[in-house]
Amino acid sequence: MFPFRRIQVILLLVIVIGMTGFLYRWHSLHDPSNWLSPTMYDKDDNQDLVLKRKLIDEKYCGGPCRFILPLFIMEQESKAQMHFRQLAFMSGLVNRTVVLPNVGGSRLGACLDNDFEFYYSRSWAVKNQDHFQHITMNDFRQWLLERQAIDRPGTSQSMHIHVNLRGHAVEPNNCFASQHLLNMNGLPERRLYLNETANPLKRLYYEDAVKDFFLGVYRDAESGESVQDEITDKIEVLSVYYDRRFPFVHNPAAETPIPYSEQVTSQADAIAKELSPYWAVHWRTERVEPASNLVGCAHALVDYFDTRAPLLSALHNITSTSMEEDDDDDDKSNLDKELQHHQQQQKQPTLFLLTDYPHVFDEKDVDEAIANNGTTKKMKPASASFSPNSLTISHHQAIQYVYKHLQVHVTHLAEQSPSATSSASSPPANWTVVPIPYDIAKHDPGWLGILDKLLAMRADGFLAGQPSVCGRKSSFTNQIMNQRLDHPRTNVIDYFDLPKPSQQDDLDE
């Protein structure tokens, strides 16, 4: 072998050995099999690391860190935030700090894509700091990283709360454990089963049951005697999976909804100002039986807008303005003048439509779908559960009737990079799509759901399809109606329905 050849080989060997060593070191640095067991941290004999750990914890928690990390919360936005409030207030009762979970797709959970403040205002947690402490996901992650860097990652146990033994929800993985940011080595999962019941009296003891669960306390039902396990209380992060239907925390402060983020509320204010005066209509058309009802319902809706809605809006205007007037003498003549003025001005309010029918389409596609007995490949319903095959001719005829007789506005999530096809479509003349920029809403349907809900609450009136005649029964409708009831102003909440045969008989007689 030539000498320079030998040098080349030696160099190569040095590089290979060096790389292997480096990779090995890099790998073993956060190798979970080298970690202390979570139960051994208080017997740690590495005094240097004990001190470092203490300093990190003091920086983030002012003392030893104890967190509740909501990994999975059952149900969608309004209900899910009610459940999260239970966990936050419970954290206070067991002296732990709740981590504000991420959000996305109308859900709440630590491993979702967007920060808590994408949907909500953190002012809620600050305002409630007498009841519980919180930490942002960002700070929590920093704490995890600093602890991982000294090879004493945060210790964690999985805590599951179920409604019954059989129907376990499909739970996501713990993304912090799979990134080796949490040490869960050898710790058993713990599960609490609490029968769900709509009867609040039967739920009275659930607060104590969940508290015991988070404290690792086992209580004898008959004697009331209790023992505390050696593990749960010392665990730094309780990774909580939460599946319930009803609240259990007794503190009335837990009932107040979390305010939505400044970004979504200011967007709602701006759009509401633009649309005003307007009425919001929630019309869920998926699987209305028989679908042929929808056409008659569309006529009823348009009638409502032509006759009752303007009258009700005018009445509302008069009562609210006359309440502000102080001058007694002029009151009556003023009212007459007002009424005259409003009657002259009577006109259809704008319709803000919340629907599962497609929001973005070409007018020609609807004509084509109607010509083909409802079949179309071009139109996509605005709800994931609503398959395009379930759009019937009646859906198209109903919505077409509406946009031929009313000014309709719908919101729509703009794509990151708008495709050429969608911008080329020409919607019907009276169908206005309000696009929500990608920068703001990140194409998240949950964000849009909150915006729509806020717009429905700001509307001059609110209508929904009569359940099981004109529309599907919907908890979303009920939420809007309940929230509108809390509004301090005159309020119209109503259903549109097919004409009742009995009313027809009355007229005939």
Ligand X SMILES: *[C@@H]1O[C@H](CO)[C@@H](O)[C@H](O)[C@H]1NC(C)=O
Contact residues for ligand X (CB under 6 A)? 94-95, 195, 215, 277, 310, 313-314, 317, 342, 345, 348, 373-374, 392, 404-407, 429-430
| Preceding amide of 290 cis, omega within 30 | yes
Nearest residue (CB) to ligand X, 275 versus 451: 275
Residue 68 corresponds to which tokens in the numbers above? 């509740």
Nearest residue (CB) to ligand X, 219 versus 404: 404
Nearest to 272 by CA among 350, 346, 342, 345: 350
Residue 272 corresponds to which tokens in the numbers above? 């509401």
Helix (H) or strand (E) holding 28: helix 3-29
205 residue type, one letter: Y
Residue whose entry in the numeric block shows the structure tokens 């599946």: 243
Residue whose entry in the numeric block shows the structure tokens 């209380």: 233
Nearest residue (CB) to ligand X, 94 versus 177: 94
Residue 30 in 3-state DSSP?
coil
Nearest residue (CB) to ligand X, 209 versus 440: 209
CA angle 107, 113, 115 (to 5 degrees): 85
Nearest residue (CB) to ligand X, 203 versus 342: 342
Residue 448 corresponds to which tokens in the numbers above? 């849009």
Q: Give per-residue burial for 189-200: e unless 16+ CB within 10 Å, then b.
A: ebeeebeeeeee
Class of residue 355 by CB neighbours under 10 A (exposed 0-12, middle 13-18, buried 19+): buried
Nearest residue (CB) to ligand X, 78 versus 400: 400
Least CB distance to ligand X at residue 487 (A)? 17
Least CB distance to ligand X at residue 330 (A)? 18
Provide DSSP, 364-409. Answer: HHHHHHHHTTT--SS---SSTT--GGG--HHHHHHHHHHHHHS-EE
Least CB distance to ligand X at residue 506 (A)? 30
Q: What are phi and psi of 361, to 5 degrees?
A: -160, 165
Least CB distance to ligand X at residue 101 (A)? 23
Nearest to 90 by CA among 238, 258, 278, 312: 238
Least CB distance to ligand X at residue 119 (A)? 30
Residue whose entry in the numeric block shows the structure tokens 């454990």: 177
Least CB distance to ligand X at residue 55 (A)? 22
Nearest residue (CB) to ligand X, 7 versus 429: 429
Least CB distance to ligand X at residue 166 (A)? 9
Residue 386 corresponds to which tokens in the numbers above? 């609503």
Least CB distance to ligand X at residue 353 (A)? 14
Nearest residue (CB) to ligand X, 150 versus 215: 215
Q: What is the DSSP letter of 181?
A: -
Least CB distance to ligand X at residue 422 (A)? 21
Least CB distance to ligand X at residue 73 (A)? 22
Contact 450, 472 (CB under 8 A): no
Beta strands in 105-236 (DSSP E): 107-108, 133-135, 154-162, 182-183, 190-193, 217-219, 226-228
Nearest residue (CB) to ligand X, 366 versus 450: 366
Contact 216, 228 (CB under 8 A): yes
Nearest residue (CB) to ligand X, 99 versus 291: 291
